[in-house]
Amino acid sequence: MKNIITLFISLAVLFSSSLMAQDNDSTQTESADKIYTFERLSQESVQVISSPLPSIPKEVGDTSFTIYEGASVPLKYFFVHGAEYDNIFNPHPTGIFIGEEKFVMFCDQEKAVQQPVNMFLDIKEFFYLGKTYLAFISLWENCDGATCRYRCYNLFDITDTKDIKQYSFNSIYDGLASIGEFNNDGLIDFLRAAPKAPKSAFEDGTEENYYYITAYTIKEGKSIQLHNDDKSNYYLYCYGDDMLQQFEILQADWFYTIIDSSGNVAPKKPYFAPYVSFDPYESYLYDAQGFRMEKKRYSIHIATLGDVEGAVEESQAIAEMMGAGVYIMPDQYSGDISFRIMAGNFLSKEPALNFQKKLNDYGIEGELFDFRKSW
């Protein structure tokens, strides 16, 4: 009898331990399910072919050339010396030769303002969805304040070396996992992450480590932000670490089911108010198709028109001339409802001023507009 009782006790202990282990495993699984990374968001990771490395620079006249070895195409970085240049007001001309073709670097989707680059943080050649690409990641060298957290990405489609296509964007996140296939449409995409303080920040001072992630697809030399059927941006609003290597989702409207920070399926919820194109009671930026863009800090105000149709026509004409982003901003605060035509959408002042000069070269007059102070 004593042996039987001992056996039952032993079995009970084992059963209890097994249940505890299952509970622990379940808890760990639930915890892991709500932790996201950029790698997890992509349908398939890019296949890195090589990481080109620099050789010793060589001087030719007033220019230094650095050959990068290991790529499938010739790569040569250039830096022009001269007493007339400085790092702030007149940066040294820099760029990259891919084969025989010269490219300058940018740090914005519109490729509106050239970005000086003194060094690359990383260069990768990779194969993805049947095409070959080169990705250059660098610091935002002419940044100021909070913009210095951003990394500049320049992505080149080198599948056809006689017709190389360049794309550019900036993001808080640093890494090739920004690039992937996120919406399962068979096209290469990228994610852009920006700091976004919660609405309670002004009340409790909580501002850091909250991020707003948006998605873009690229084709034929253009970056196109991805929207749902209601014209609202697909997005993730999250809380993560300083480098955004891991994060939890607080709110989302994404391409597929997302687990939120509570461990539940996140309901699809627009980040903005219900969408109305060119809504005069919402001071957002809109492109000519009526898609809403979140304002950054600076833009160039070109004109103000009284009807949205005229504003759309004018913005399209300027965009075709400039090959850059031109937007419409409704204004209900100047008496009658009007529509401002705004060129560019920048985080810092210097690129906006450079873009203003570029507009002047095309014979387009405009004034610098600070959304924080002027609106």
- Per-residue pLDDT of the chain (375 residues), as tens digits, is 545 555 455 545 455 555 554 554 444 445 668 999 999 999 888 999 999 999 999 999 999 999 999 999 999 999 999 888 876 667 889 999 999 999 999 998 888 778 899 999 999 999 999 999 999 999 988 777 777 889 999 999 999 999 999 999 999 999 999 999 999 899 999 999 998 877 655 444 455 789 999 999 997 778 888 988 877 889 999 999 989 999 999 999 999 999 999 999 998 887 765 556 666 556 678 887 777 777 888 999 999 988 888 888 888 888 877 766 889 888 866 556 788 999 988 888 888 888 898 888 888 899 999 988 765
d(CA 1, CA 355): 91
Give residue 7's pLDDT: 47
Q: What is the pTM of this model?
A: 0.74
- 99 three-class SS: coil
**Domain spans, the chain:** 276-375
| Angle at 65 (CA atoms; ends 116, 170), nearest 5 degrees | 25
Give residue 109's pLDDT: 85
Give residue 281's pLDDT: 58
d(CA 138, CA 122): 7
Residue among 309, 293, 281, 291 at smallest CA distance from 229: 291
Give residue 3's pLDDT: 54
d(CA 64, CA 84): 16
Identify the bridge partners of residue 114 per DSSP, sorted by sequence position. 106
In a 10 Å sphere around its CB, with 0-12 CB exposed, 13-18 middle and 19+ buried, how is residue 88 labelled? exposed
Q: How many CB atoms lie within 10 A of CB 252?
A: 22
Contacts with 287 (C-beta within 8 Å, 6 or more apart), sequence order = 293, 315, 325, 326, 327, 328
- 159 three-class SS: coil
What secondary structure, in 3-state letters, does 174-243 show?
CCHHHEECCCCCCCCEEEEEEECCCCCHHHHCCCCCEEEEEEEEEECCEEEECECCCCCECEEEEEECCC
